[in-house]
Structure 1
């Protein structure tokens, strides 16, 4: 083992397809000092038994972009490396057996088209023409992707490994990582031992990448890093040879939890059953290498019965192989990619949820670019590991959630669909009060949040659909209450980060685009920018005192935003503390919000003392609170912060005082429909790290006349050149269709982008969407002079476009 170095720029742990892809792409960027360590043999964990389906159509824009790259990469890998990858562009078909699934796959097809994927919606008869063996009696429609394909998973990984070796990477098998040495927030090296125990050593490393697959959780623990994933059993069968069977497209029948692949005259049938079987609760055996798990035919039998009806020739074919192997699944069915929040040089690429082959090419490319440049090459929010909360590493939680997530791969991906397992972990101080009033809860980052309120006699649960769901009118009533009278909703889940110390002002002025040199009690809306002017966080910052500020973040990005600040502290004398759970927050919004507060508090809520954008300490009932006069719904209102111990009293006081005023409890769906009418941006959809703050229309929140801050040069440059794109608000001319996100956006008949967020505007009377329109060198008037359409389910719908908010464009209602 003497050939292992004592030092490396990066050590990659794990030799599955993703570890090999990361090594391949790093060397492609010119890195030569790359070491990959594999505990047994390359591909011996999960990669070797993967089905090898290579598809481009994914549930989100980012995943589609990365899967498209994988397909393009694998198409040329064999020629580059000489390793036969078995890659064939045989195409793929996904069929729908229900009208709901038809809408889902057609909407996905529209999204794919917006990203340049060759895709076609086809009829049942066209499905039959491409797949003669299929029973299409109840098939409603299909989607055809001619450039999709299949390949040999093991050989794809080996080809990536060979490409990496050819450019200088060292790949060592039968070398297990036993520990990681650390100093502060950095790993300094990797301890290893040979498989036979004959030799061991240490490699000092500038960076470490955890590509350990189903061992990723355990390897993460060595580094003090949270990598939530759990192995589940994954089943497929391979038939005996079927006479006359020739190459067929890959086929997916998600309504029957099944996929089909022809391979060398045999058929492979695989399943993503609704109730999965978690595996290795007490740990993965140390000897695991190319291992199979025990058969469980009873578990697989319902899938096989449906398959024999769907493809009658299977009933006549003998079973050659019944395979059961482990795959790792994450709590939200998206893989983990990126720089671990807990450490500054530990990267993660793991938890690929049975889509590792089709994702590994793109994921490896994206991570390598991120490592090389020190910032994300484009928005990776769907898969960025910083979205995971610390508690999600809990083994019991992972066991319970993993039962569901495998099946969700082929479940209907309805808008607003909520996870059913591992719920109730994080509850706000108002949880029981809201449930008593008919709240229907959703979950975000583990938080139980009231999304809408059921009426008396109405079933308090979701009935999912792609059309108007059962809560549509409930949310409309909540929306009207906020617009016309008075609404109250729980915002306790939003992140609250105290930044304190003698350098708090200087530090925040360095991290934020806005000027934080403001008096105590002032609230500032601002962004954290990267060096390209992209938006890393969208927050409000309230100055509490000379040395203390409160940064309020979206619930989903609290950890990411805290991590961003910590990584830029430098020598500033500040302390950053997460106080999210310490305070409850109730938002009171609507034209009569001031009247309600005057009923419960002796304090002055007038414009003279408490204008928009200011905070004050108040008495509330018999307790104390702090009110922030801000809004995310575009109405007069306050966010009321109180310590958790007084939260129950505050709720009861406000709720009782509002009864004769028509106070309505509201949920998150209302908040989103109101904010989109007002044109307020939603972080993660409308604004991301790849969206320039000027293009996003948020230049007003950036103050370039203050001392240097992150992104200042990029902002000044874009102000000189003008925006390369503009974020527009769109209103459909037809009040019936619904917008969610990712619908293709057409300008003068040509696809120019996609809708990044959508909801129904109950006041404006139609679906509202936000989307970027490329416009380099154009004036705002020229952009607005065009004709716009949005494609919904293959139908182009005329849309009115605006740069100003369509609702209350001068923000007069929030300042009354």
Structure 2
């Protein structure tokens, strides 16, 4: 047994397509001293039995970027590394049975156009020209993607591996990792062939990623919340008509996806490959009765075709030629799933200098882009595209093994489902219930999860349809619309009350705590007793996050941020942390209730003791009570009205809720809050605020203190951009929107030119209009500029408007 190198800059654990791509892209970034360890042969995991489809389509902007990059890389890879590959760019046709599916296709077509791809909407009558064997009688239309296709997964992996070796990288096969430890600020990776000391380690172990994550538990890690699904696809024998057609036209049929029936159908040589995603799906290796084997390399599960009967029959009805083909082979192999179906790419939560590039459900399609993203994380500490959709820190401590199983089964069974903006998925619920949960439920709350916490999305009235099916729409006028309107009007005209459970609360303590935070943010920190928004940029000046800062002294600050940002923003504050300063998480120790509206002071007046309700906007007090319960009272309101956040202990929240509602406050939910915050031009994290945009582009210059003596990340880049002027500017838009408001990444047009995109949108019930926040070409950012917004394929007239749309001078906030 030959020895392996004793040192490496980066060790990658796992030799599938993703691991090989990571190694290759680290080499392309100029890092040569990297080592990949594979327990068996390259491709021995999910890669070897993968179907090899390579779509660009995604409902996620970032994942579409990643998949688009893969197709671009693969087209030139064989020549670039001098390794032959079978890569067939056939195009694809996605079928739509419903108006809602066509709306999804229109949105994807727009995103693709913004990324330089020419996706095309087809009418049913256009289909026979693209796919002559398909039945079209019950279809609404289709989406054609010219860049879709299929590739040989093993050849792809070997080509990436050769390219990596040519760049000086090292691959060691038949070398399992048996342990990991940390010594002197370095990783020591243990194998039967010896130990390797490395600065960085990457978990790219595919469906074994959870087992590898166990090795990092002693160093602050967590078990990856994933499960492994059985996925089957069927290979059919040659069909003479397919052969004759292919030989006549000189290419294969496009890949056909009947997404509403949940399967793909691909030409395989002159036969077919049928891959369903069935609702009655099956997970493997689920516990002590079904343990994960030590090595499942190049193995498959037994056939289980009964589950697929409906899909097979439906496919044969859609493409009758399929019924004439004989079944030649069934592939039934393990596919890893995260609870949302997206992979893990980025920093390993809680562990220094460790990264993840694993749990890829579509590793072949995403592998090229994943390698690029992972290499950027390692070598630069930041990525070209905002990749929160794949960030390992998006699932926090609530995501245990049971949750991963429930959600993985749900995602697999709905692999091609439309993700509607107000649809609330039912699996994996009730992970975290606040002490107010029963009261919200009694008031008619329809709940939605936020980082595991159940919050009220809206409050149903008698007769409102709360069924899941009723929420499957892109339109504004869902069953919630009347309730949300009434909730917004209650906040506008009287007093509203919302429970915002699960806010992330991070305390920075120790001598120099304020100075440490000051070095990380571009903003001027408020003095003790005041509340301020602080923006944290990366080295390019792009927006990492936004936090509300509550300074108690120079030695202690509390920072409050989005629930889902819990682990992400912890890492922001831990960056370059001095030894005598601590960052502690107190998120579970507090509850937050927002009381807001023009009557908020009247409602609270008889309930407050010790707190002064006449203090100015953006102040807070820690000494006093509401309804006899100790609490912190902060004069802020994300709804944009006179209001106070009440921060209290969870056990005190029910008494406060009861007293405030008895005094006349009306409950409202997160759907209403979203509409209210857009009217005020307040931004949402990882929509309006992301690393896709800089602080200057986002119009947040008033929060940048360029004169700070401490400096901050990205200052030079932001100063240069502010001086020269940004290419894009954040603007408000008032849209003649029809039945649906602008979704994230709806395209903005001017005289036939693509000039920007929306980042969020909603109906503004206080101003009576459809509103959006968008990023537009800077020369068009002046209020009054007339543009068009593509909303699900309809070009809707819009005009640029000043933000905020409501209470522009903040008179109501300051009342």
Deviation at 1:517, TM superposition (A): 5.7
Deviation at 1:236, TM superposition (A): 0.9
Q: 1:262 aligns with which of 267, 273, 277?
A: 267
Partner of 1:438: 444
Residues 260-300 of structure 1, C-alpha deviations (whole Å, 9 max, x = no match): 11011110000112242111123421231111101111111
Deviation at 1:76, TM superposition (A): 0.8
Deviation at 1:166, TM superposition (A): 1.1
In structure 1, what is the Cα distance between the partners aligned to 2:739 and 2:356?
43
Deviation at 1:187, TM superposition (A): 5.2
Q: 2:564 aligns with which of 539, 556, 562?
A: 556
1:95 maps onto 2:95 in alignment: yes
Residues 655-707 of structure 1, C-alpha deviations (whole Å, 9 max, x = no match): 2222xxxx221111111111111111111011112321121111111222222
1:218 maps onto 2:211 in alignment: yes
In structure 1, what is the Cα distance between the partners aligned to 2:479 and 2:809?
34
1:455 maps onto 2:461 in alignment: yes
Contact kept? 1:331, 1:405, Cα under 8 Å:
yes
In structure 1, what is the Cα distance between the partners aligned to 2:629 and 2:236?
71
Partner of 1:418: 424
1:542 maps onto 2:530 in alignment: no
3-state DSSP class of the match of 1:255?
coil
The RMSD of aligned alpha carbons is: 1.7
Partner of 2:180: 180
In structure 2, what is the Cα distance between the partners aligned to 1:444 and 1:380?
19
Partner of 1:315: 323
Q: 1:239 aligns with which of 226, 236, 248?
A: 236
**What TM-score does the superposition give when structure 1 sets the normalisation length?**
0.95
Residues 780-808 of structure 1, C-alpha deviations (whole Å, 9 max, x = no match): 54xx4643111012221111112432222
Partner of 2:653: 647
Partner of 2:797: 798
Partner of 1:579: 586
Partner of 1:489: 498
Deviation at 1:17, TM superposition (A): 0.7
Contact kept? 2:87, 2:152, Cα under 8 Å:
yes
Deviation at 1:240, TM superposition (A): 1.3
Partner of 1:390: 397
**For structure 1, which segment, 709-718 or 533-542, has the greater mean C-alpha deviation from structure 2 after superposition?**
709-718
In structure 2, what is the Cα distance between the partners aligned to 1:709 and 1:338?
27
Q: Closer, same or farther in 2 for the Cα pair 1:165/1:630, shift >3 Å?
A: same
Partner of 1:328: 336
Deviation at 1:610, TM superposition (A): 4.4
Q: 2:199 aligns with which of 203, 206, 228?
A: 206
Contact kept? 1:604, 1:610, Cα under 8 Å:
no
In structure 2, what is the Cα distance between the partners aligned to 1:706 and 1:85?
55
Q: Closer, same or farther in 2 for the Cα pair 1:767/1:167, shift >3 Å?
A: same
Deviation at 1:2, TM superposition (A): 3.0
1:745 maps onto 2:748 in alignment: yes
In structure 2, what is the Cα distance between the partners aligned to 1:537 and 1:611?
23
Runs of 4+ more than 6 Å apart: none
Partner of 1:596: 603
In structure 1, what is the Cα distance between the partners aligned to 2:741 and 2:784?
25
3-state DSSP class of the match of 1:234?
strand
1:55 maps onto 2:55 in alignment: yes
Q: 2:719 aligns with which of 712, 716, 730?
A: 716
Partner of 2:669: 667
Partner of 2:535: 527
The within-5 A match list for 1:589-738 is: 589-603=596-610, 605-607=612-614, 609-658=615-664, 663-711=665-713, 712-738=715-741
Q: 1:349 aligns with which of 345, 348, 357?
A: 357
In structure 2, what is the Cα distance between the partners aligned to 1:51 and 1:166?
28
Q: Closer, same or farther in 2 for the Cα pair 1:743/1:124, shift >3 Å?
A: same
Q: 1:474 aligns with which of 483, 496, 499?
A: 483
Deviation at 1:228, TM superposition (A): 2.1
Deviation at 1:734, TM superposition (A): 4.1
1:765 maps onto 2:768 in alignment: yes
3-state DSSP class of the match of 2:398?
helix
**For structure 1, which segment, 788-797 or 16-25, has the greater mean C-alpha deviation from structure 2 after superposition?**
788-797
Deviation at 1:513, TM superposition (A): 2.0
3-state DSSP class of the match of 1:188?
strand
Contact kept? 1:27, 1:168, Cα under 8 Å:
yes
3-state DSSP class of the match of 2:180?
strand
Deviation at 1:50, TM superposition (A): 1.2
Q: Number of residue pairs matched?
A: 796
Residues 289-344 of structure 1, C-alpha deviations (whole Å, 9 max, x = no match): 11110111111111111111111112221110122111000011111110112112
In structure 1, what is the Cα distance between the partners aligned to 2:810 and 2:719?
27
In structure 1, what is the Cα distance between the partners aligned to 2:403 and 2:189?
29
Partner of 1:196: none
Partner of 2:249: none
3-state DSSP class of the match of 1:244?
helix
Contact kept? 1:749, 1:788, Cα under 8 Å:
no
Residues 108-151 of structure 1, C-alpha deviations (whole Å, 9 max, x = no match): 21222122111110011111221111111111100111122111
In structure 2, what is the Cα distance between the partners aligned to 1:319 and 1:610?
75
Contact kept? 2:8, 2:33, Cα under 8 Å:
yes
Deviation at 1:70, TM superposition (A): 0.5
Contact kept? 2:735, 2:798, Cα under 8 Å:
yes
The within-5 A match list for 1:154-193 is: 154-183=154-183, 188-193=187-192
In structure 2, what is the Cα distance between the partners aligned to 1:547 and 1:233?
53
Residues 475-513 of structure 1, C-alpha deviations (whole Å, 9 max, x = no match): 111111112211110112211111222222111211222
3-state DSSP class of the match of 1:175?
coil
Q: Closer, same or farther in 2 for the Cα pair 1:75/1:501, shift >3 Å?
A: same
Deviation at 1:55, TM superposition (A): 1.0
In structure 2, what is the Cα distance between the partners aligned to 1:27 and 1:203?
19
3-state DSSP class of the match of 1:556?
helix
**For structure 1, which segment, 587-596 or 377-386, has the greater mean C-alpha deviation from structure 2 after superposition?**
377-386
In structure 1, what is the Cα distance between the partners aligned to 2:451 and 2:461?
27
In structure 1, what is the Cα distance between the partners aligned to 2:737 and 2:227?
45
In structure 1, what is the Cα distance between the partners aligned to 2:297 and 2:781?
60
Contact kept? 2:407, 2:427, Cα under 8 Å:
yes
In structure 1, what is the Cα distance between the partners aligned to 2:535 and 2:703?
8
Partner of 2:64: 64
Contact kept? 2:271, 2:325, Cα under 8 Å:
no
In structure 1, what is the Cα distance between the partners aligned to 2:487 and 2:187?
54
In structure 1, what is the Cα distance between the partners aligned to 2:413 and 2:97?
17
**What TM-score does the superposition give when structure 2 sets the normalisation length?**
0.95
**For structure 1, which segment, 436-445 or 458-467, has the greater mean C-alpha deviation from structure 2 after superposition?**
458-467
**For structure 1, which segment, 411-420 or 89-98, has the greater mean C-alpha deviation from structure 2 after superposition?**
411-420
In structure 1, what is the Cα distance between the partners aligned to 2:675 and 2:490?
13
Partner of 2:257: 252
**For structure 1, which segment, 545-554 or 129-138, has the greater mean C-alpha deviation from structure 2 after superposition?**
545-554
Partner of 1:807: 806
3-state DSSP class of the match of 1:54?
coil
In structure 2, what is the Cα distance between the partners aligned to 1:155 and 1:129?
32
Contact kept? 1:56, 1:117, Cα under 8 Å:
no
